[in-house]
Amino acid sequence: MRAGVGHAGAEMAAADRGGRPVRGMPGLRGGNGSVRRGRGIFCGALLAGAALTALRAETVALWLFDEEAGAAAGALLSDAGPAGRFLRLGPRGTIVPGKFGRALQVVPAEPLSDAGPARFAARSVAGDVGPGGRRWVSPTASKLNLGAHDWTLEAWVRLDPTAMGEGVMFEIGAGLQRDDALVTRFSVVPRENALVFAGLAGVGSSAQAALARRVEFPDPSGPPAGEAELHQTTLALTDAALPRDRWFHVALVHRVAAREVRLFVDGRSRAVAAVSVVALPPGERGYVSIGTDAIGDRPWQGALDELRVSDEALYGADFTPPASFATGNNQARRPAVGADPR
């Protein structure tokens, strides 16, 4: 399996489930589960590749989670974005029917499990080896580092009916240590009917400076060391509850000129907060984690589909949530037959 449309000339992709590309599969899987090879693979790759060229240029990463349902821990989850930033499925992740095609479901940990970092749902760490021997560049040295520039983080998500505790949608960090404060995280706290953005802010510039924690870190450009404030911003919904047990679209948009992050739920602006985002320091131990934090805590209670990171503030006002990013064909941009309808 190969990841990333940036390597489209070497990558095979298949069209399935009402036109939904299936990235990195060895053939085309028909409605009866059979695998058609030969010319079918080649034609499917051409069609899916052409559809995915409709992705907007600002896409940094796009995880469709369209691998085989029930894939085992260790399976690679391909990135339909230009850089091919694959993820690795962990023991707390499984592939299930999704909003479009398939999705990442986060499963509960064993009650007495103490497997530490091995409990993640989907994650990649600097140096991970993927298809063709390609190694993951540290995400803190890439455009995934959500710093002082315009960016958008969005996904289709579903919360279990009983979800209460904090669940991570996306986290990037400088290291996997439990006490490492250098993280940027977007998570949901259902019991508070809120989503939370945690990250670094400039010293003295945080709107919540009194609650911020000052941190220092090595500066790759040399002394003096870098410093920032670790802050947490709560984006609470006040006029309606977070949807439960159905798919909904969520987007967090950062505008550097406005010094704000804005939350959209199902295309409606629901909360905004003043922030001064600072990028994580580049380093050799960076990681990205989806569905849990770095060590497998803060599990998302539900599923996630089509998680996209963009280096542009895509939404400035209320909008119609996008259909599947997997194809530019409007006739195919709809929930697939057999997909989770909730």
Cis peptide before 108 (omega within 30 of 0): no
H/E segment holding residue 201? strand 194-201
Residue pair 29/14 in contact (Cβ under 8 Å)? The answer is yes
Q: What is the pLDDT of residues 93-134, one digit of tens each?
A: 999 999 999 999 999 866 545 555 568 999 999 988 877 787
Asked whether residue 331 carries a pLDDT value surpassing 60, the answer given is no
pLDDT at 311: 95
Amino acid identity at 240: A
Q: Give residue 7's pLDDT band: very low, low, confident or very high (50, 70, 90).
A: very low
Residue 71 included in any domain? yes
Residue 326 included in any domain? no
pLDDT at 329: 31
Residue 25 included in any domain? no
Q: How far is CA 5 from the centre of its chain?
A: 17
Write b or e for each residue in 37-68: b if 16 or more Cβ atoms lie within 10 A of its Cβ, otherwise e.
Answer: eeeebeebbebbbebbeebeebbbbbbbbbbe
Q: Using alpha carbons, list the distances in angstroms from residue 54 to 16, 48, 77, 236, 312.
A: 18, 10, 21, 34, 16
Tokens found for residue 234: 């709560």
Residue with tokens 């909003």: 99
Residue 184's domain spans which residues?
57-310
CATH number at residue 107: 2.60.120.200
> Of 145 and 276, which is predicted with more confidence?
145
pLDDT at 110: 62
Least confident segment among 78-87, 126-135, 241-250: 126-135
Mean pLDDT, the chain, rounded, equals: 76
CA distance 308 to 26: 24
- Find all residues with CB under 8 Å of 17, minimum gap 6, and list them: 101, 336, 337, 338, 339
Tokens found for residue 176: 């996997």
Asked whether residue 265 carries a pLDDT value surpassing 50, the answer given is yes
What's the total number of domains in the chain? 1
* pTM of the model as a whole: 0.76
Q: What is the pLDDT of residues 288-302, one digit of tens each?
A: 999 999 888 999 999
Residue 318 included in any domain? no
Residue 230 included in any domain? yes
Residue 211 included in any domain? yes
Residue 2 included in any domain? no
Q: What is the pLDDT of residues 32-73, one digit of tens each?
A: 333 333 333 233 333 333 344 356 678 999 999 999 998 999
CA distance 67 to 76: 8
Residue with tokens 């996008």: 322
pLDDT at 108: 82
Residue 332 included in any domain? no
Tokens found for residue 158: 């579903």
Average pLDDT of the residues in 86-98: 95
pLDDT at 156: 98
Q: Using alpha carbons, list the distances in angstroms from residue 317 to 262, 265, 287.
A: 10, 12, 32
